[in-house]
Amino acid sequence: MADEYTLKHLLAEPRSIEDLHIPQNIVIDLIFRLLYNEGNVALSRFTEVLKIPKAIIDEILLWMQKEHLVEISKASVELGRLGNVYALTDAGEDRARSSMDRSQYVGPVPVAIPYYNRGIELQTKQRHRVSIQQVKDSLTELILPPNFHRQIGPAVNSGSSIFLYGPPGNGKTTIAMAIAKLLAGTDPIWVPYAITAGGQIIQINDRLVHKQIPMEKGKTAELGRIDQRWVLIERPSVSVGGELKMDALDLRYDPIAKFYEAPLQLRANGGMFLLDDFGRQQVSPTDLLNRWIVPLESEIDYLRLQSGQTIVVPFRELIVFSTNLDPKELVDDAFLRRIHMKVGVNSPDEKLFFQIFIMESKRQNVPFTNKELFVYLLQKWYRETGRKLQAVHPRDILNIIVALCEYEGSPPHLSQELIDEACLSYFVE
């Protein structure tokens, strides 16, 4: 990773309250809320939830005891203070209610935003480097024109933006998912569970997006004891389609829980953000693109808290736009210039269509013994009708044929009758 010593310092396990680099009251409030929610809490439970060392929590609890805010509900002779179980006093319960009124966040202690920013910058300073073979391997499930990988590999390595365009049903989304898998296989990245800015907590961790992975033994020795507020994950991938609204790109404040959830692009930092079906969102393409112009050029994003305070965060992710609409009708030339790589994913010609059909036949265990049946499909359902070939058609038509064979109790096979029946079901005349 870039600047290993600095990253090692950034991820080092905190030894004191000061090493957390956040106001002490944030930690005290988390202790109050955990006690309020669970009643009796052991020191091991505090460390499990808050992700900070026992020594720091014990120091805060000792102060809270002196202030008559907590009391020991159960003690352990063998373990001493480390075996204590704590509960709120009456005075502590009043303080806990007040803390719950301010926020109901209970989880890992947040990382201060300057340290989050530094961590992302260090881990994205050097761009991903994927080899020709890695890119080819990632696209093996698709039959694509020769040297298509040369349009994808450089875009991934440049780490900026890709515009996939072309008719529907030819694999744009599958290609984007292959890119996401490709990125996930590169160096993992450290991200915090939550960050704090302006006294507010922003939850970043998303179990659907952030796939935690075990740390290698060599890395353990290299980095030493890690601040448990950070978690090692695969390079994340966030995918959105027509359901996207503009507010999903802003901090989302929960008025009941009273803390923020990170917007989609913040969760995707260090990985990939896919904007699928671009142009069909519930927000206009112009507004959406205007939202991305500054981040794409400056690699930083601006987010606003309810208080009006603006926070600055890194914008270090591969943005992939995918559309089956005409790009020139969606965006102007000025924006297209900002997207470095434009990749056309066009309909296959008859030769590629045949290769796709053969591949799908093998995948679905449909014996392909008579090329004349493929010629029949091509002639009757494409040439005579003027229908455009789409890469997805062989898979879908063969799916229907297999279903028809299962229904009639026969092994999967091809015939003119089955081809006609499948196409009548599939195509809208």
- Give the SS3 label for residue 365: coil
Mean pLDDT of 250-263: 94
Domain spanning 23-106: CATH 1.10.10.10: yes
**189 to 2, 234, 254, 260: CA distances (angstroms):** 11, 6, 28, 22
Determine the pLDDT at residue 415: 94
Residue type, 69: L
Mean pLDDT of 204-227: 82
- The domain spans of the chain are 23-106, 114-344, 350-426
Residue type, 116: Y
Determine the pLDDT at residue 412: 94
Identify the weakest region by mean pLDDT among 207-216, 230-239, 281-290, 303-312. Answer: 281-290
pLDDT tops 70 at residue 221: no
Radius of gyration of the chain (CA): 28
CB < 8 Å & 24+ apart, contacts of 280-285: 280/241, 280/242, 280/325, 281/241, 281/242, 281/243, 281/244, 281/245, 282/242, 282/243, 282/244, 282/245, 283/244, 283/245, 283/246, 285/330, 285/331
Determine the pLDDT at residue 5: 53
Determine the pLDDT at residue 2: 42
Mean pLDDT of 128-144: 83
The highest-confidence range among 15-29, 145-159, 270-284, by mean pLDDT, is 15-29
pLDDT, tens digit, for every residue of 353-381? 999 999 999 999 999 989 999 999 999 99
CATH number, span 350-426: 1.10.8
CATH number, span 114-344: 3.40.50.300
| Residue 321 neighbours by CB distance under 10 Å | 28
Cα 392 to the center of its chain, rounded Å: 26
pLDDT tops 70 at residue 79: no
Phi, psi at residue 159, to the nearest 5°? 65, 30
pTM of the model: 0.86
Share of the chain above pLDDT 90, in %: 59
Determine the pLDDT at residue 356: 94
Sequence-distant (6+) residues with CB within 8 A of 336 are: 163, 327, 342
